[in-house]
Amino acid sequence: MSKSDKRLLLLHEKDNVLVCCQTIPAATELWIEGQATVLSTQLELGHKLARRDIAAGEKITRYGLPIGSATQTIAYGQHVHTHNMKSDYLASHHRNAVEGRI
């Protein structure tokens, strides 16, 4: 296993994301899988980062289990969240969702 910053948690060997354990400010230089990268946005506790390049449509895997699919190509080191992945179960609710439409 390649080394990543201690603030990033790998929950399962099969995962393509790492989970952030504490707030990391934007522009922080981070080690992810043995490579240095610069964080483009601030990352809050509980948020996810791509551990490697992820293709559009590929499953996002956490705990070794699928949690949804990428809606676009996600580059190594990028924030993975509702803007670039979606549920394969049913769409998530958003605060700004229009009633009757998600």
Instruction: By CB under 8 A, name the binding residues for another protein.
Output: 6-7, 9, 11, 19-22, 44-48, 60, 62-63, 65-68, 80-82, 85-90, 92-95
> Least distance from C-beta 81 to another protein, angstroms?
5
**CB of 49 vs another protein, minimal distance in Å:** 10
One-character DSSP codes across the chain: -----TTEE---TT-SEEEESS-B-TT-EEEETTEEEE-SS-B-TT-EEESS-B-TTPEEEETTEEEEEESS-B-TT-EESTTTEE-SSSPPP-TTPPTT--
Least separation, in Å, of the C-beta of 65 and another protein? 6
Q: Quick one: 27 or 102, whose CB is closer to another protein?
A: 102
